[in-house]
Amino acid sequence: MLSRQQIETVQSTLPLLESAGSALTEHFYARMFRDNPELKDIFNLSHQQSGQQPVALFNAILAYARYLDNPSVLAQAVERIAQKHTGFQIRPEQYDIVGHHLLETIRELAPDAATPEVLDAWAQAYGQLAAIFIGREEEIYRTAEQANGGWRGKRRFRLIEKRAESELICSFVWAPVDGGPVMDFRPGQYLSLSVSHYSLAHHEYRQYSLSDAPNGKTYRISVKREPGTPQGQVSNFLHDHVEIGDEIDLLPPAGDFFLDVEQETPVVLLSGGVGLTPMLSMLSTLVESGHKAPVHYLHACENGRQHAFRDRVTALSQAHEQVHSFTWYREPLADDRIDEDYDAVGLIDLTPLRDAILQDDSQFYFCGPVGFMRAVHRQLKDWGVEDSRLHYELFGPHQTLND
Q: Is 392 a catalytic residue?
A: no
Task: List, in order, residues 6 or more apart from 95 with CB less than 8 Å away.
Answer: 130, 133, 134
397 annotated as belonging to a binding site for a ligand: yes
Q: Is 364 exposed, middle or buried (0-12, 13-18, 19+ CB in 10 A)?
A: buried
Between the two ends of the chain, the Cα-to-Cα distance in Å is: 37
- Binding site annotation covers 208? yes
- 275 belongs to an annotated ligand binding site: yes
CA separation for the pair 105, 34 (Å, rounded) = 13
Q: Tell whether residue 307 is among the known ligand binding residues.
A: no
* 95 labelled catalytic: yes
Residue 380 to residues 269, 366, 389, Cα–Cα distance (Å): 13, 11, 10
Would the annotation count 277 as a binding residue? Answer: yes
Q: Is 276 annotated as a binding residue?
A: yes
Strand-by-strand arrangement of the 204-209 sheet? 204-209, 190-195, 247-254, 155-164, 169-176, 219-224
Cβ–Cβ under 8 Å, residues 341 and 309: no
Please give the Cα distance from 159 to 172 (Å, whole number).
Answer: 7
Q: Which of 26, 137, 302, 393 is catalytic?
A: 137
Task: Considering the candidates 29, 64, 95, 342, report the single residue annotated as catalytic.
Answer: 95
Tell whether 209 is in a known binding site: yes
Q: Within 10 A of 133 (CB to CB), how many other CB atoms are there?
A: 16
Residue 384 in marked binding region: no
CA neighbor of 274 nearest in space, from 403, 393, 400, 402: 393
Residue 274 is assigned to a ligand binding site: yes
Tell me: is residue 316 an annotated ligand-binding position.
Answer: no
**What is the identity of the amino acid at 54?**
P
Helix or strand or coil: residue 270?
strand
Binding residues for NADP(+): 273-278
Binding residues: 85, 190, 206-209, 273-278, 394-397
Binding residues for FAD: 190, 206-209, 394-397
State the catalytic residues. Answer: 95, 137
Binding residues for heme b: 85
